[in-house]
Copies of this chain bind each other. A is one copy, B any other.
Amino acid sequence: MDCELCHGDGGTVLWQNDLCRVVSVDEPGLPGFLRVILNRHEREMTDLAERDRAAFMAVVFAVEAHVRRCLEPDKMNLASLGNMTPHLHWHVIPRWRDDRHFPGPVWSPARHDAPVPEARAAACARMAATLAGALGPARA
């Protein structure tokens, strides 16, 4: 099967355990965009056993908590879509009122192309660098 999330990491791996990994993705204009990707190939959340589903969501919410602590964004967006790559992965996206797509979803047309404020980009880099410590080996 030709699944890019089976054959590649899908981004820069910041943390991982047996079940899933957290990667940072380079989306222009959307700093701090992370994905939580199931390691094995499954299509839907309701294909998972309840225990794995809960463990996977616990990672998603731990990531959201870390992103909020570090960045204090105006809103968090969470989504599991997978229409193009039907291998379970969650988008975890901090949003700001002045970002390119706000208040639309990040998949709506951009409203401007102003550069990301430097202080925000720096905070996002620190957030990524400290994620593994925040999630901790206890979750591995």
Q: Could you tell me which A residues sit within 8 Å of B by CB distance?
A: 43-46, 53-54, 57, 61, 64-65, 68, 75-84, 86, 95, 102-105, 107-109
Please report the C-alpha to C-alpha distance between residue A59 and residue B79 in the assembled complex, in whole angstroms.
Answer: 16
A61 touches which of B46, B79, B104, B109 (Cβ 8 Å): B46
| Residues of chain B lying within 8 A (CB to CB) of residue A84 | 103
| Residues of chain B lying within 8 A (CB to CB) of residue A44 | 64, 68, 75-76
Say yes or no: A80-B78 contact (C-beta < 8 A), given A46-B64, A46-B65, A46-B68.
Answer: yes
Kindly provide the distance from the CB of A90 to the nearest chain B CB, expressed in whole angstroms. Answer: 9
**Interface CB pairs A-B, < 8 A, 11:** A43-B75, A44-B75, A44-B76, A45-B76, A46-B61, A75-B86, A76-B80, A77-B82, A79-B81, A83-B95, A105-B105
| Residues of chain B lying within 8 A (CB to CB) of residue A53 | 61
Please report the C-alpha to C-alpha distance between residue A103 and residue B44 in the assembled complex, in whole angstroms.
Answer: 16
Please report the C-alpha to C-alpha distance between residue A80 and residue B78 in the assembled complex, in whole angstroms.
Answer: 5
| Residues of chain B lying within 8 A (CB to CB) of residue A103 | 83-84
